[in-house]
Amino acid sequence: MAAATMPAGFAIFVLATTVLIIIHASPIFGEEAIVQIPFSYMGATGPSKWGSLKPGFSECSTGKSQSPIDIPKGKVVLNKKLKPLTREYSYINATFVNNGFNIELRCGKNTNLLISDGKAYIFSQLHWHSPSEHRIDGVQYDAELHLVHIADDGCIAVIGILYHLGHPDPLIAKVSLLLQG
C-alpha cells in the first residue's frame, strides 16, 4: 500500500475510491435497513436540542465547534505544526445502508488507514448529505461526502468533501438506479 499526502489530486482520489467502493458494495435496501435518525437541522430536533435527544448525543450540549459549521474563509488559519494527512487505502467490502436520513456505506473489517499527527484511524464508513451539512462563507453546497475514520481509543477523524452539481455521469447514473430500486 502506498501512502499519499493530502494535497495533489485528492478530489480525484476520493471520487475514484468512492466509485470503487460503490462498485464492490452490497446494496441493502428495504424496510429492515431503514432506521429513523432522531435529529434534524432545525426545529424541535435541531442542533440546539441534539444533546438531549438521546444519551449518546450528550456531548452535543457542550461542544464548541460542531455540526453544522459555517467556515468563514477570512478566519481560517494554517497550523504549520500539523503534519500532512496520510492515507493508506485498498479495496474493501462495504454495505449500502439507507438509514432514512442519508445513504451510507458501512465497511467491514479492514486495514484502510488515515494517519493524522502520527495517530492511526481505521476507515469505518462514508455517507453523503444533500444539501451539504457545512457551509463556507455562508454558501451551502449541493452535497457533502464524509469519510469517517475511528481510532482504537474511539477518537473520530472525518474528511468532508463539498460538491457542486455538474453534468450527469454515466456510472453515477447506474448507481442511482441501484439506489432507487
Could you give the domains of the chain?
4-76+84-180 (3.10.200.10)
Lowest mean pLDDT among 32-41, 66-75, 114-123, 127-136: 32-41
- Grid coordinates in use for 103? 445513504
Largest Cα separation within the chain, whole Å, is 48
10 three-class SS: helix
Contacts of 137 (CB under 8 A, 6+ apart): 70, 71, 72, 73
Give the span between the Cα atoms of 149 and 135, in whole angstroms. Answer: 22
HSE of 3 in the Cβ direction (CA atoms, 13 Å)? 9
- Grid coordinates in use for 8? 495533489
50-105 residue pLDDT tens: 888 888 778 778 877 677 889 999 999 998 988 888 999 888 888 888 777 777 88
pLDDT at 137 over 90: yes
pLDDT-derived band at 141, boundaries 50, 70, 90: very high
| Per-position DSSP letters for 41-102, written without gaps between them | SSGGGSGGGHHHHSGGGGGGGT-SS-SS-EE-GGG----TTSPPPEEE-----EEEEE-SS-
